[in-house]
Amino acid sequence: MDLHNQYIFEGSFGLERETIRATSDGRLAKTPHPFSDNKYMSRDFCESQLELITPACETIESLMTALRYLDNEARSILKEKDEYLWLNSNPPHIDSENDIVIADFNGNQADKKEYRIKLASRYGKRLMLYSGIHFNFSFSDRFIESIFDGKGSVNEFKNALYFRLSKQVFRYSWLIVLLSSSSPVYDLSLDADGLSGDGFDGYASKRNGENGYWNKFIPILDYSDLRSYIKSINHYIENGNLFSSGELYLPMRLKPSGNNSTESLIENGVNHIELRMFDVNPLAPLGIFKEDLYFVHYFLIYLTQLPDFVFTRELQEAAIENHKNAAKYDIDSMTINGYPAKDAANGLLDDMTEYFNDFPRVIKNIEFQKKKISENKRYCVKVYAKFNKNFTQEMINIAR
């Protein structure tokens, strides 16, 4: 791919940030969702889990501005109720699983509540309390048209481009997890009723780790082409392994415009790719640093030019294992495909450096990521040092 294409750095960017509404003493807020009329302030699994949804933005700077506006608006409304945003992927103290109230969708959205009731029965409510950040990205239409090879239609070309990219994202999602994990400490009530105090189970990101946000089975999908991919998802729905395609808990998703369904994906094609592995970072005032979003943008461009490959069962299983391994805290004992994680990460980052050699701003960002490894500056290390002796109180301080 020609990096000097004038449109290559163009795109559309969006964020969905989940956080828990918490009380001043560090517990789940039990009040109803107070933003019912605002389409940019929804909730995810439970009534107290606020999801801020930015509009699609043309730059990462404007994306962060939009997120800041929504964050300020949410905080100002919650302040009147003596409630706060819990800026962490791990939830506040849970007195009892009965305190986790499933999001009360009704009317023409009543099916959303029924779906969440099914999820609770399959996974338990606690698992669904993990909060994260989803990053949505699409290349600009001008860029797509500028690289279109003239074979078939532009839409078919676009679908194929995102489909190939989705495989690369899945295969290398471990690098983003390694560089962005930021939730190593948690309240022990996450494990069971009646527990409290600070917990640490060896993971830098619990939601990305072995006991995090995963299906009860390992879904092996057919990556021959987009239609085969969708057909393999529908197979799991038909045999009862999945309630819907939305229950497919993998690091990325291909999303259509409008209604998010496999039918819409076939009919309307791929609109954007969604990356789902980001922790809510308590060190960042908005839960994520813009430097990491820039890096992911560059990483997606880099992945797009890698050669296509056959995504076999073995490679899919290895991708999931690598993703979970990268969520561990101790990088020195971490392995990726059987090799030391440090070597694997530096190898990818070095290759990116060579690829973006003519772009100083990109190189500077890659160097920032490298220092997380070489100087032990991963976010999880800083968070552990700050939170490991009083998770709840430190989080209350940040929330306030």
Question: What is the band of 17 on the pLDDT scale with cuts at 50, 70, 90?
Answer: very high
> What's phi and psi for 187, nearest 5 deg?
-85, 130
Q: Are strands 83-86 and 11-23 parallel, antiparallel or unpaired?
A: antiparallel
> What was the pLDDT predicted at 107?
75
Strand partners, 49: 20
Q: What is the mean pLDDT of residues 162-172?
A: 97
Name the nearest CA neighbour of 10 among 165, 186, 140. 140
Whether the Cβ atoms of residue 390 and residue 383 lie closer than 8 Å to each other: no
> What's phi and psi for 224, nearest 5 deg?
-60, -45
Q: What is the mean pLDDT of residues 4-15?
A: 96
> What was the pLDDT predicted at 36?
80
> What was the pLDDT predicted at 230?
92
Question: What is the band of 69 on the pLDDT scale with cuts at 50, 70, 90?
Answer: very high
pTM equals: 0.96
Other Cβ atoms within 10 Å of 25 Cβ, number: 10
**Cα gap 368→292, rounded to integer Å:** 9
| Residue 38 in this model has a pLDDT that exceeds 90 | no
> What was the pLDDT predicted at 282?
98
> What was the pLDDT predicted at 82?
94
Residue bearing the bigger pLDDT, 108 or 79: 79
What Cα–Cα distance (Å) separates residue 302 from each residue in 11, 133, 146, 212, 352?
14, 22, 17, 28, 7
**Cα gap 152→262, rounded to integer Å:** 22
> What was the pLDDT predicted at 137?
98
SS3 per residue for the chain: CCCCCCCCCCEEEEEEEEEEEEECCCEECCCCCCCCCCCCEEECCECCEEEEECCCECCHHHHHHHHHHHHHHHHHHHHCCCEEEECCCCCCECCCHHHCCECCCCHHHHHHHHHHHHHHHHHCCCHHHCCEEEEEEEECHHHHHHHCCCCCCHHHHHHHHHHHHHHHHHHHHHHHHHHHCCECCEEHHHCCCCCCCEECCCECEHHHCCCCCCCCCCCCCCCCCHHHHHHHHHHHHHCCCCCCHHHCCCCEEEECCCCCCHHHHHHHCCCEEEEEEEECCCCCCCCCCHHHHHHHHHHHHHHHCCCCCCCCHHHHHHHHHHHHHHCECCHHHCEECCEEHHHHHHHHHHHHHHHCCCCHHHHHHHHHHHHHHHCCCCHHHHHHHHHCCCHHHHHHHHHC
Q: What is the mean pLDDT of residues 119-124?
A: 90
| Residue 205 in this model has a pLDDT that exceeds 80 | yes
> What was the pLDDT predicted at 105?
83
Q: What is the mean pLDDT of residues 268-275?
A: 94
Q: What is the mean pLDDT of residues 325-347?
A: 98
